[in-house]
Amino acid sequence: MIVLGIETSCDETAAAVVRREADGHGAILSSLVRAQLAEHAPYGGVVPEIAARAHIAVLDRLIAQAMAEAGVGFDALAGVAVTSGPGLVGGLVVGATTGKAVALAAGKPFVAVNHLEAHALTARLTDGVTFPYLALLVSGGHTQLLEVRGVGDYVRLGTTIDDALGEAFDKTAKLLGLPYPGGPAVERAAASGNPARFALPLPLHDRPGLDFSFAGLKTAVRLAAERAAPLSPQDVADLCASFQATVAAIVGRRAERALTGFRERRPGTPPVLVVAGGVAANGAIRAALSAAAAKSGARLVAAPLALCGDNAAMVAWAGAERLALGLTDALDAPIRPRWPLDANAAPMHGGGRLGARA
Ligand code: KG4
Ligand code: ZN
């Protein structure tokens, strides 16, 4: 089963072709991502209108290139899968309209994919992980811990009550004068910093449950920066290292707790923790998760770097998983700027730079 995937929910335009075998194995035939860094950099964050226009400018060529690299024509496709939410409305309209046009013209099924589901299922494409498993999604727009029970079957165990983790990295970078996107810049600066120099708070640390909070931490970084001003490059590096070590400790602690809960609920199921999303590229966070998994006797499956950030291979794969179950969508399927994976979970305030999309 060969599926074309399209991703335009935020500031990456992406097209990919993925193959799924009947036994559930998958292969990426092509995966192209064009980030809009230059377009948004002057504003220090994603500007929705600029994002939508930039998607229009490149999406058709990107699709043609993805098909050419995969060496297949539209007639070979089993379907066209498009991120239909959650995300920025303008970009979602561009992707969905384009994908529906391809599906209609080629006479192929259309699949509306939830972006978070695409992140959560990536580990099945890359590592053949079987249900059920735990997934930690950490990105600029979302921070959540899920129990993944099956395709379309998710239970949200915890989420952020204010900022998304990637957003906390981006805001920390901005206040320290580092470039956008902030996550990689903070990680680079932290490499030469002293993580023990600034003692930062661990929000919700001793409270039971699996929710996250990063807004207070961001304020603490700002206050520490103000006290240390004017900041030398070493001060910035030390602040970045302290911030990164603190969030890694928070994430590690939550992961450990989630794995303990999983073991209790499912004795006999070997626990697996999957981490995906842009922040999953962070070495300190990966190390903290790896330590948490080792301590809990669990397997950690971290998305390969190329599939951590937004991409269309994950969308094509989620589409293939849905197609394999006979799940398709009509061509009048709506886009859903807010689309929680777990319909039963209480909505949270905030939830990242994409508004309440988490
Ligand atoms: O998944 P993604 O590409 O897009 C969203 O759906 O948001 O994630 C982007 C986020 C940004 O906030 C970026 O700063 C963060 O992931 N990020 C990182 C790193 N690389 C990207 N955060 C920490 N460390 C990194 N190395
Ligand atoms: Zn994402």
Residue 330 neighbours by CB under 8 Å, 6+ apart: 110
The whole-model pTM stands at 0.93
Of all protein residues, the one whose alpha carbon is nearest to atom 7 of ligand 1 is 140
CB of 88 shorter than 6 A to ligand 1: no
* Rounded distance between C-alpha atoms, residue 159 and residue 210, angstroms: 7
Q: Give the per-residue pLDDT at 210.
A: 96
Q: Residues 141, 150: contact at Cβ < 8 Å?
A: no
> Which atom of ligand 1 is found nearest the CA of 181?
14
Q: Give the per-residue pLDDT at 65.
A: 98
CB of 187 shorter than 6 A to ligand 1: yes
| Residue located via tokens 């599926």 | 3
The closest of 328, 257, 316, 242 to 292, measured between CA atoms, is 257
Centroid of ligand 2 to alpha carbon of 141 (angstroms): 7
- Tell me the pLDDT band of 78, cut-offs 50, 70 and 90: very high
The answer to whether residue 299 scores a pLDDT higher than 80 is yes
Q: What is the pLDDT of residues 87-113, one digit of tens each?
A: 999 999 999 999 999 999 999 999 999
User: Alpha-carbon dihedral of residues 108, 114, 117, 123, nearest 10 degrees?
Assistant: 50
Asked if 2-122+309-324 and 131-306 have one fold, the answer is yes
Q: What is the pLDDT of residues 13-40, one digit of tens each?
A: 999 999 999 999 999 999 999 999 889 9
Centroid of ligand 2 to alpha carbon of 174 (angstroms): 21
- Tell me the pLDDT band of 41, cut-offs 50, 70 and 90: confident
In which region does residue 48 sit, left (phi positive, over 0), alpha (psi from -120 to 50) or beta (all else)? alpha
The answer to whether residue 45 scores a pLDDT higher than 90 is no
The answer to whether residue 167 scores a pLDDT higher than 90 is yes
CB of 282 shorter than 6 A to ligand 1: yes
The count of residues in the chain is: 358
Residue type, 162: D
List the structure tokens of 303.
């998305």
Report the CATH number of the 131-306 domain: 3.30.420.40
Residue type, 4: L
The closest of 61, 55, 43 to 89, measured between CA atoms, is 55
The answer to whether residue 282 scores a pLDDT higher than 90 is yes
> Which atom of ligand 1 is found nearest the CA of 310?
3
Centroid of ligand 2 to alpha carbon of 95 (angstroms): 15
Of all protein residues, the one whose alpha carbon is nearest to atom 10 of ligand 1 is 140
pLDDT mean over 164-169: 95
| Residue located via tokens 């910093």 | 193
* Rounded distance between C-alpha atoms, residue 152 and residue 150, angstroms: 6
3-state secondary structure of 152: coil
Ligand closest in space to the Cα of 118: 2
CB of 140 shorter than 6 A to ligand 1: yes
The answer to whether residue 352 scores a pLDDT higher than 60 is no
> Which atom of ligand 1 is found nearest the CA of 277?
1
Q: Residues 122, 44: contact at Cβ < 8 Å?
A: no
Q: What is the pLDDT of residues 114-126, one digit of tens each?
A: 999 999 999 999 9
**CATH entry, 2-122+309-324, from 3.10.130.10, 3.40.30.10, 3.30.420.40, 3.10.450.40:** 3.30.420.40
* Rounded distance between C-alpha atoms, residue 187 and residue 232, angstroms: 17
End-to-end CA distance of the chain: 31
Q: What is the pLDDT of residues 187-201, one digit of tens each?
A: 999 999 999 999 998
With the most atoms of ligand 1 within 8 angstroms of its CB, the residue from 279, 311, 314, 357 to mutate is: 279
Average pLDDT, the chain: 94
Centroid of ligand 1 to alpha carbon of 183 (angstroms): 6
For the chain, give the percent of residues with pLDDT over 70.
96
* Rounded distance between C-alpha atoms, residue 31 and residue 63, angstroms: 10
For 269, other C-beta atoms within 10 Å of its C-beta total: 13
- Tell me the pLDDT band of 348, cut-offs 50, 70 and 90: low
The closest of 234, 225, 240 to 195, measured between CA atoms, is 240
Gyration radius of the chain over CA positions = 20
For the chain, give the percent of residues with pLDDT over 90.
88
Distances (CA, A) of 204 to 21, 207, 214, 270: 44, 5, 9, 28
Of all protein residues, the one whose alpha carbon is nearest to atom 23 of ligand 1 is 183
* Rounded distance between C-alpha atoms, residue 241 and residue 217, angstroms: 13
* Rounded distance between C-alpha atoms, residue 200 and residue 234, angstroms: 17
- Tell me the pLDDT band of 319, cut-offs 50, 70 and 90: very high
pLDDT mean over 287-300: 97
Centroid of ligand 2 to alpha carbon of 11 (angstroms): 10
> Which atom of ligand 1 is found nearest the CA of 283?
26
Q: Give the per-residue pLDDT at 347.
A: 64
Residue 48 neighbours by CB under 8 Å, 6+ apart: 88, 89, 90, 91
Delimit the domains of the chain by residue range.
Answer: 2-122+309-324, 131-306
* Rounded distance between C-alpha atoms, residue 100 and residue 349, angstroms: 32
Q: Give the per-residue pLDDT at 357.
A: 40
- Tell me the pLDDT band of 354, cut-offs 50, 70 and 90: very low
pLDDT mean over 320-348: 91
